[in-house]
Each structure stands twice: as C-alpha cells, then as structure tokens.
Structure 1
Amino acid sequence: MNTATDWRKARDIAYRVGQGITLASHSVPLTDAIGHTLAEPVRAANPLPAFDTVAMDGYAIRGEGPWRLEDTDQLAGTVADPLSSGHARRIATGAQLPPGTDGIIRLEDSTESNGQVNGPHQPDWRHVGEEINLGDTLFSSGRTVTPALAGFAAAAGNDEVSVWSPPTTRLAVFGDELVSQGPARDGKIRDSLGPMLPAVLDSLGAAGSAAVHVADTPEDHLRALENPHSTITLTTGGTMHGPVDYLHPTLQRLNATYHVNTVAVRPGFPMLLAETDSGIVCGLPGNPQSALIAIVTLVAPLIDGMLRRDPPDLSTVTVADDIAGRGDCTRLALVDHDGRLVAHHGSAMLRGVAAARGFAVVPPHAGARAGQELSFLSLSGISY
C-alpha cells in the first residue's frame, strides 16, 4: 500500500488540483448572486456617498443666525438649490446638501419661531466619496457573495456581478448492503450519506445532486465513473481492497492519475483524490464520519481552489479535555462549543457529528492536554 499522505499536505494538494481547473463564469443580478463566488472584482460605479448628504433630520443654515426659514423643504431624492446667506432650510435624512451650507442644526436641538430657526450647529454631513470613491475595488474575486456584500455592491451602483458557475457534482453510493428508504433490517444498513452529502456540497459552493446507488459489480462501477458529466464525482465506500471494493480496479481501468491515495488521518484514512479523462474523482470512505472527514480534507479545499478562493485556513480552539493522539496520524477529534470532546465519536457514527461544533486537530505523534490550544476545523453549516 502507498504511504499515506500527511493530512495538511493532502489539503494543500487538493487545493492546487482545484486551481488547475477552470470553471465558466457569468454575470447575474445581485439578488441571484448570493451564495455564489465572485469571478471578477466588484468596483464602485458611483462614489459613496454619491454627493454631500446629511445624516439626520434638521435644518441646513448659511451665514449668521437666527436664520430665516425658507418655504421649500430639502427632501431625499431631490436636487438641492443653493442656500442664501442668512437662510435656513428644513432638510431630511439622506437629502443632498444645499450648496453654500455652513452647518446643520439637528431637529432635536432647534427652536423655530416667527419664521425663524435657531440652535447650535456644526458641519455635520457626510462628504462625497467618504465611504468609497468611484472605481475603487469593493471586493476582490474569490469572495462569496453574502447579503451584506450584495447590499454594498448595490449601494455603489452595481446591478450585476460576475460569478463562477458552481462545480457540478455526482454522488455515487457504493454498497449492496445499503437501503435508501425505511428502517434497517435483514442485514441491510440505512444509507445516511445520500441524504447528507448533497446539502454539504451545496454549503461548500458546489452544485450538489441526488445520490445514485451503485451495485457492487465491476461493470456498474465502471459505468458510474466513465462519463459522469460533472466536474467532480464523489464515491462512498470501496476505498480499501476488500472482496467487493471495485473502486481502485475501476480507476486503473480508466488510467486514473492519483493525486492522493490514503491520508494519515483518523478517522478517515482510506480516502483518495484521482483524475481521469472524465474529471475528478473523490473516493470517500463508507463510514459516515470518515466520509465527512474526507469531505473537509479533500473536497472542500478542492472546491476552494476551483472557485479561486483563498487557501483554506484553520482557526483555533482551547480543548477542555485530554485527547489521545493517533500515532503517526493526525487525529480530528469532535468537540462542542466548550471545547469538550463529544460522545459517540466513532468513525461509523453521526450522533457525535450532529452535536459537535467542529474538529480539534491533534498533530501526529502527539496528544493534547486540557487547556491546550489546537488548530480547529469548523463544521459551521453542516452540524449546526
């Protein structure tokens, strides 16, 4: 068997493989862009503010007071005529500042009597371009479009943005022992990955598709991998060399190039990343937690690379329990919001995953002590 790839190195390899794949890009309205990844930078089509504007209701004044109140109010959305010396004009929040204005009297600080207004004033308005100038870059490519990003892009005069088309995926679930409906019985096991993984792939920025169950025969495996019509084909199970594990022989028949073949991580060891003439193949272990670890180890960095996002990074967590190491393998240990190990964390179990905040990363040849700070891989959007 090939030497297993270091966990961090495997993530780097997957990211670089993704960078080598070019996806299509297209322009979409801002309301349709949320959740997609920018293919081009977004720049300001107008400065912000686009003109000098007031930030509160009050009075625009010019010259010395008390000021004679004009009959016309300055409302938002109207062009401001110049203000005469000795005059005041009621002005609404967001309205254009009248030329010649020396100061603003806040409404709550004003006194109005006999057609005149008085009160303390100051040059209290927002200047054109205070937030951003015309042509400035709002966001670089590789950013995920969030509601706030879309709102800022709209405020800066944009109607559309260029986004990458999400990589398409196909999920092939191997195993005659699996059933897709009803309770497990008669030696059969209920498939949990088919319902879970398409949504996980969507959350990572790919276009998830419904799982296809593939029989444990060489020819069914070959048909599943020959012409997938997708950017990434994910398989579950069959990543070892058991009596009905046909994934490796099928990849050999397709003259696949292996980028990663097993990763030194527990759980999740027997995972792979390969490439055929038909596209990328990610082989996930059949055990549910191990399959999820393969997703965050290989698939998430792969998609990040395709979408030209920044390389995946880790945060930190202070663990509340001692955590045993796993020899020369990295251990990904499920922890909750308090940094405590969760129960039911076996490779075949999802109960612990559903209760966890993410994985504490225990380095090879080491354990961890309570109170120690470790790298942390979040499961945000997957488990909570």
Structure 2
Amino acid sequence: MGTPWDQAYVIARDAADPLPGRTVPVEEALGQVLAGPVRCVRPVPAFDNAAMDGYAVAGDGPWTVRGRVLAGHAAGVPLSPGDAVEIATGAPVPDEAEAVLPYEECTVTAGAVHAARGQRAHIRRAGDALAAGAVVVPAGRVVTATVVAAAVQAGAQTVFTHRPPTVSLLVTGDEVITRGVPGPGQVRDSFTEPVAAVTTRAGGCFQDSRHLPDDPDRLAAALAGSRAEVIVVSGSSSKGAADHLHTLLAAEKATWLVQGVRCRPGHPQGLAVLPDGRFVVSLPGNPYAGLVAALTLLEPLVATLAGRPPGPLPTAAVTGRTRLMPGGVRIVPVTGGRIAGPGGSAGLHLAAIADALAVLPDTWTDGAAAPLLALP
C-alpha cells in the first residue's frame, strides 16, 4: 500500500539536516538562507547627518551663514556659536552643530539666518538606527533583496549562508523526446520545467536535466556519475519491464525512506538515500503524477537541505465532487476552492489553470477544509 501521504511529506521534510554554511558575498546570497546572523559592521547612520534641507546652526541666533554642505561631501570646519551652514538632507553636519533649521522655518537677511529653534533638532546621529555589532537580520531568514540592502547599509560585505543543495534530473523513457514535435508513440519531456521550478522555489540549485533511454546500464552509470545532493528520476519507478530503478538501487544498497505513497495519482513515487548520502527521488512517469510526487517528496527535502524546512501546509475549504481513494488521499487541482474537474495521472491542463492542488483524505466531504500544495 505504501506510506500514508502526510507521513511521506514529513519523512521527506525530516530526512536531512541543512547543508553546512559558508561565507559568500552578500550580493551573491539572494534566495539563500542565513546560517548565521548578519551583524552591523558600521553604525546606521554611519555619521551625524541632516534630516532636513535647511541650515545647521550652533548657539543662539541669528546665525551667520559660513558656507554650504551637500550630501557626499565633507562637513567642513566645526561651527562656533552664532554660525550656520546651508545643508542638504543626508549631508554630514559639522562638529558642534546643535540643530538643522528647515528652510520653511527660516528667513535669511543679509547673510544671516533668523528662526525660532523648535523642539526637534532634525539631526540623525550616528548609530541612531543601529549600533555597530547589533544584529541586522537573524539566522534562518531567507536572503531577500531587502535583506541584501539592509546588510549593505550596515557595512556587511559577506554573509554566512547554507549552501543550496544541488539537484539533477534524469528523464527516462524510450518514448521521451526533449525537443521538436513528437512522432508516433513519442511524448515531449514535461518534467524538466516543473522539477527545476520546484527546486528553485525550495532554495535548491537545479544543475541539469538529462534524457536516458530505458537502459539499466545507462541509468546505473548516470546515478553513479551524478554529484548532485538530490538525484530526481522520472519514470522507471514502477514494476514494468522498463522500470529498472528499484533493482539498481537495491544493488547499490540504497535505503528506502519512502517506497510508494497512498495517494492518487502518484502512488509509485519514492525517496531513497544512497550509502554516500545522496538522495534519490523517484517520480512516476505520468506527468501529473510526477508533479504530485515533486511537491510531496522533492520540495520538502530540498527546502530542509537549503535551511528552510517548510511549516504546516495551508488549508482551505474545497468544494466539488471527485472519487476519493479508500485508505489514502486524492490530490486534485482546485480553482477558487473548487475542484477543477475530472482528470487523470497524465494531463497537466487542469493543473495549469488551477490555483493549487488540494489533498483530499478519504474522509473528506464537499465543503470541508483540505491541505493545499502550491503549484510551481
């Protein structure tokens, strides 16, 4: 019968530890997961600067204008009581400046600034936002564009991130072609793009996709030669005459963590680990069943290796009718919370217009909530 679907998902999620961390330039870390915190190298702001356009002043007024300071230039000499300099927002304030008076609050006559000092100084002091050594972003966060910007602002040149796991796909089958128009008995490869997208979304690095005929020696050589942390094999997963994967993995003394899942479609999927620690994810040869398997086993495995194990799946009410699987789950495309229509293990057309895939247990009833799998 295989492993219950929810258990299979958890097994894949918990099958590995995150890959070790390494130091990379911050601009190259986008999408990776922090294995250590980003700390502030220099204070934010890095220097005292004007928060408004106006005049930096010292002492009591009126103030004699002694010059101008623009952003990106040195602050110049310190101010003495009664001095002022015209200043732009973001420009460094001279030493001894006590406040910046906004233009709209000032009157300038014969080189002298007249204004009433308000309660706000309009000066951003060094370290007001973040002191040197403070945590900018904690470990465990995905490096987004905003994280990169915050790290650079705080003076960090590098970050410590989990290495993204590498994923390689072996598309098996004499009937599969990778380009052009299929001839009699042929089909186009419809696994590469979904597997690559699921890998990337989970934080992995998709290395390549190779097509192999139904030849056990070729498949054995490809498995042995792959250096990817995760090897995905589409097809060759069942018990037919052309399905060689199980025999080859047995010969390699691989350990099966999941060998068949109680779901329709996607029952023949599996997850094994080779003696050297590489994982093998087996996808059924029918495209929709393969997509289901990629979301069930590949995505949680890759996410954990990348340092971001997924949390609980979202749930939503699902309406419509479908044939449930006794003792297992039926996985169906849904649009607007409604089952998209009757389908099978091969066609991807309903998944292409769906919002998500709903995982329906055999106890599900029309309108009840069900877990949702996000489509790549």
> Which interval holds the TM-score relative to the shorter structure?
0.7 to 0.9
- In the TM superposition, residue 231 of structure 1 has moved relative to its aligned partner by 1.2
TM, length-normalised to structure 2? 0.87
Structure 2 residue 53 is the aligned partner of structure 1 residue 54: no
Which residue matches 2:8?
10
Which residue matches 2:307?
308
Mapping 1:104-253, distance limit 5 Å:
104-119=100-115, 121=118, 122-253=120-251
Change (3 A) 1:253 1:132: same
Q: Report the residue type matching 1:282 in the other structure.
A: V
- In the TM superposition, residue 77 of structure 1 has moved relative to its aligned partner by 4.2
Change (3 A) 1:88 1:126: same
Q: State the alpha-carbon separation in 2 of the partners of residues 70 and 57 from structure 1.
A: 16
Unaligned segments of structure 1, at least 5 residues:
none
Which residue matches 1:322?
320
Which residue matches 2:36?
40
Which shifted more, 202-211 or 185-194?
202-211
Change (3 A) 1:367 1:97: farther
TM, length-normalised to structure 1? 0.86
- In the TM superposition, residue 228 of structure 1 has moved relative to its aligned partner by 2.1
Q: Report the residue type matching 1:229 in the other structure.
A: R
Q: Does the Cα contact within 8 Å between 1:22 and 1:306 map onto a contact in 2?
A: yes
Which shifted more, 176-185 or 41-50?
176-185
Write the deviation string for residues 77-133 of structure 1: whole angstroms up to 9, x where unpaired. Answer: 424644333333212111223344443322344322221223454222333333222
Change (3 A) 1:114 1:203: same
Q: Report the residue type matching 2:5 in the other structure.
A: W
Q: State the alpha-carbon separation in 2 of the partners of residues 332 and 234 from structure 1.
A: 21
Which residue matches 1:335?
334
Classify the secondary structure of the residue corresponding to 1:245: coil
Aligned residues: 372
Change (3 A) 1:71 1:220: closer
Unaligned segments of structure 2, at least 5 residues:
none
Which shifted more, 259-268 or 295-304?
259-268
Q: Report the residue type matching 2:45 in the other structure.
A: P
- In the TM superposition, residue 310 of structure 1 has moved relative to its aligned partner by 4.1
Change (3 A) 1:138 1:277: same
Change (3 A) 1:287 1:367: farther
Classify the secondary structure of the residue corresponding to 1:13: helix
Q: Does the Cα contact within 8 Å between 2:204 and 2:303 map onto a contact in 1?
A: no
- In the TM superposition, residue 363 of structure 1 has moved relative to its aligned partner by 4.3
For 1:355, which of 347, 353, 356 is the aligned residue? 353
Change (3 A) 1:54 1:323: farther
Change (3 A) 1:49 1:223: same
- In the TM superposition, residue 42 of structure 1 has moved relative to its aligned partner by 1.5
Which residue matches 1:283?
282
Change (3 A) 1:29 1:364: same
Q: Report the residue type matching 1:240 in the other structure.
A: S
Classify the secondary structure of the residue corresponding to 1:18: coil
Classify the secondary structure of the residue corresponding to 2:233: strand
Q: Does the Cα contact within 8 Å between 1:142 and 1:307 map onto a contact in 2?
A: no
Change (3 A) 1:243 1:83: same
Which shifted more, 114-123 or 244-253?
114-123
Change (3 A) 1:106 1:265: farther
Q: Report the residue type matching 1:216 in the other structure.
A: D
Q: Does the Cα contact within 8 Å between 2:262 and 2:329 map onto a contact in 1?
A: yes
Q: Report the residue type matching 1:247 in the other structure.
A: L
Q: State the alpha-carbon separation in 2 of the partners of residues 68 and 318 from structure 1.
A: 71
Classify the secondary structure of the residue corresponding to 1:225: helix
Q: Does the Cα contact within 8 Å between 1:344 and 1:351 map onto a contact in 2?
A: no
